[in-house]
Structure 1
Amino acid sequence: MKTECKSETVTLNGKEYPCTVSLTMDLIGGKWKAVILYHLIEGSLRFNELSRAIPTVTEMTISLQLKQLEKDGLVIRTVYGEKPPIRVTYELTTLGKSLIPLLKAITEWGNTVVISEGTFE
């Protein structure tokens, strides 16, 4: 029997999933979560640095995705200072860092597809 199907459901942080694939896709699925996580592989970034790194996404979307990633325990938000101008950085948690091999594999697969079937612009 496959590991992800050992029981009827799996649970993480009180949320039930039909399998571990569903759990993983809930945590990193969607158009921008994996992209944000990929940009945090090399270390912490400020919000504006992330925005510049992903120019095709709105700041509101980045903000919402960062909040979700933080809630799910994949990203940690650190605030420096108590009064403006404060500095806020985002970085991968230990759980987030465990995704690095997966994020690199997704990137490599995408590169392979573009090289064989598409174009870089």
Structure 2
Amino acid sequence: MQVNNYGPIKRQKYIENTYNSETQHVFLQLQASLDTLEQLIQQGSVEAGSGAQAARELRAGIEESPDQPTRRLMSAARRVRDLLTSGGAAAEDVRKAAEAVAAISAAVGVISG
């Protein structure tokens, strides 16, 4: 069995794969939130300017560091969550956005709000 400073290689790969899986899940939730936000903008429930800006910020946050959530991504995700809430999105969509915000906040090390 190979061992490094972080323990057996097999265990380390499991941790890396688990992290990558969770990160991928969060990004899928964020993409779903973007899709919902775009629908709300088209319906007129969310003001087009602020909705488009929030979507751009979220995409930029995702592209900035696709492997590790950042404060920029956290802030953009919170803004999208708030727009979904105020725009009258379905409770399930808001819940998914809130879960993504909580996961990003945990990864960044900030209490989600």
TM-score by length of 2: 0.28
TM-score after normalising by structure 1: 0.27
Higher relative contact order structure (alpha carbons within 8 Å, sequence separation ≥ 6): 2
In terms of fraction of residues, the more helix-rich structure is 2
Q: Which structure features the higher share of strand residues? A: 1
